[in-house]
Chains A and B, each alone.
Chain A
Amino acid sequence: MRNEALHFALRNRKLVVGTVVIAVFLVAGLAGPLMFDHGPNDYVGPAMAPPSGEFWFGTTTFGQDVFAQFVYGLRATFLVGVLGGVLAAAVGMVVGFVAGYRGGWVDELLNMLTNIVLVLPALVVLLIINAYLGVRSIGVQALFIGLTSWPWAARAIRAQTFSLRSRDFVDLARLSGVRTPKIILREIAPNMSSYLFLTFILLFGSAILVAASLDFIGLGPTQGVSLGLMLNNAARWSALQLGLWWWFIPPGAGITAIVGALYVMNVGLDEVFNPKLREM
């Protein structure tokens, strides 16, 4: 079974392309900052220099190295995506599993909660939370993103759990006296593991986009650099009017490439896991 999945995974162009793009950016984010002996916000070069051999992505109006900011920003972006995505997936899974498996009033209650968080526009809630935070960090940002972006995942997982809970093997486990958490963990979750993984990828991507928007509005981490903050700075110090295209194109392109690669990976994985969708 595993080998069959691997067989199709290696032959799925979408999955391969998506994974390669993510891997390239991940390596750039991890290894890139090691190339510099200065921080991303240090004033190291001439102001407003276009891309050159020395400064690959040029410099900002203040003489900061855009490439250095970019690779450090990639780190922040991946970190926010992973933390926010993991947290949202965890909350979504707990709520979805419990609601779907227990049913009854527990389900009613959790469903109500899910629907409320679902209708609240997440970014706007994040805006007021972050505006009141004096010191903002990537960790706290990811925490609140995770806490606001789980509802659709919970809904989807609940529906899946619902269809699994009356299967024979679950009944059998219940009859043998296995406790609920263990049934969910051992019997239900493994049967939708691919689905859970796909959910995580989508949450990962959306956490990156939400974080970028927050950063752009000016509620990003107060210290350090991220791709969203780079866009924010570029817009604030009129990179557009000054024609410093090298300042605002890389961060946006980076976000688009990462999130796009995640989406494409998601489709590819879906085709690998679900035989019905494989190329015909």
Chain B
Amino acid sequence: MRRYFGRKLLIYGLTFFVAVTINWMIPRFMPGDPVQSMLSRANVAQPAAVEAMRAHYTAMFGLDLPLWQQYLNFWGSLLKGDLGISIWLFPTPVSDVIVRAVPYTLGLLIPSILLSWFAGNRFGAFAARRKWLDNSVLPIGYVLTATPYMWLAILLAWALGIVAGIFPVAGAYGFDLQASWSWTFLGSLAQHWFLPFASLFLVAFGGWAIGMRNMIIYELEADYVNYLRALGAPTRLVRRYAFRNAILPQVTGLALQLGVLVAGALVTEIVFSYPGLGHLILQAIQNQDFFLLQGTFLFIVIGVLIANFIIDVAYVLVDPRTRTGMGGAA
């Protein structure tokens, strides 16, 4: 088990290293000049002023130093938690902007991931090999998992928000409210939270339900199931055993799907102007705020790595084989 965690941690460490290196490399080696694009955005006419700004930005990026030194400096400031200054919200440090947005994203992501995973698995397992449920779950599930997150979000916003007028479609709480612990504020928060949550939940739910349904069908063919049946074990018991075996690949699947789920949350937030990381990314792109974009990237990578580690721990808890070192998951 120590070997298992050791390997995982090594991979996560390396991934973080690669992510930081990508983050450092892209502005420097991509075609196009970020300094130039910031200058053209600023729209200054006087050549002297342009030169001064160019010098300022070049020094800010540290582009006048040798490459290896730029790289070390990059790590240095990163380890001090310094991600630069946001251009969109000018003198605010990027880390502050991000920390303010993170709770909204987590508040959407964590419930939708966990609930869709539990509900999807339960439902998929229940539907497997039950004629009419199976026949209806399968097509609906495939349509849901093929739906682009932002489209479902747009549809829900349009149907339930604009046409029916039941839910608000923008922001995280009413524009006339101040953040506080009052009931009106919390109510408004929940009301604004519901639609983005629902669209994330539905798309992910379809995927889990199908995955579980297929796994259960495989499991119900297994020898131990035939044996139990031959002994006359009740169907409920057989299914419970099948479920416990089928859940393992779904735990691994959760780790594999994290990137897609995060991406889904980002575009969903954009649809609903929900003030989380997705909204930040949109603003960063529209305002050419590269520090903010890169800071958000690192934050998301760190979040995904932590989530992966939590799933690894969960895997050890649900699969006894990994604990005794008898293999199991890679």
Contacts and interface: CB of A to CB of B under 8 A. Distances in A.
B285 A131 contact: yes
Given A120-B301, A127-B281, A264-B142, A216 B150 contact: yes
A120 B15 contact: yes
Interface of B: 11-12, 14-15, 18-19, 22-23, 26-27, 30-32, 34, 37, 139, 142-143, 145-152, 154-155, 157-158, 161-163, 169, 221, 256, 258-260, 262-263, 266-267, 270-271, 281-282, 284-286, 290, 293-294, 296-297, 300-301, 304-305, 308
Interface in A115-134: 115-116, 118-125, 127-129, 131-134
Contacts of B285: 127, 131, 217-219
B167 to A, nearest CB: 13
Contacts of B34: 132
Main secondary structure, interface of B, reads helix
B272 to A, nearest CB: 10
Contacts of B301: 120-121, 124
Interface stretch (A42-50, A54-62, A189-197, A254-262): A254-262
A120 B18 contact: yes
Contacts of B11: 112, 115-116, 119
B142 A120 contact: no
A116 B142 contact: no
Given A118-B256, A121-B258, A124-B301, 17 more contacts: A119-B15, A119-B259, A121-B304, A124-B263, A125-B19, A128-B293, A128-B294, A131-B285, A132-B26, A133-B32, A216-B148, A217-B285, A231-B150, A235-B270, A240-B157, A255-B148, A256-B148
Interface hub of B30, B32, B259, B294 (most chain A Cβ within 10 A): B259
B26 A256 contact: no
Given A121-B300, A128-B297, A218-B285, A205 B154 contact: no
Contacts of A257: 146
A245 interface: yes
B18 A212 contact: no
Interface of A: 112, 115-116, 118-125, 127-129, 131-134, 152, 205, 209-210, 212-213, 216-219, 228, 231, 234-235, 240-241, 243, 245, 248-249, 251-253, 255-260, 262-264, 267, 276
Main secondary structure, interface of A, reads helix
Given A129-B26, A240-B169, A256 B151 contact: yes
Contacts of B169: 240
B286 to A, nearest CB: 7
Nearest to B264: A213
Nearest to B169: A240
A125 B263 CA distance: 11
Given A124-B263, A132-B32, A264-B142, A119 B12 contact: yes
A116 B259 CA distance: 13
B281 A252 contact: no
A213 B149 contact: yes
A123 to B, nearest CB: 4
B293 to A, nearest CB: 6
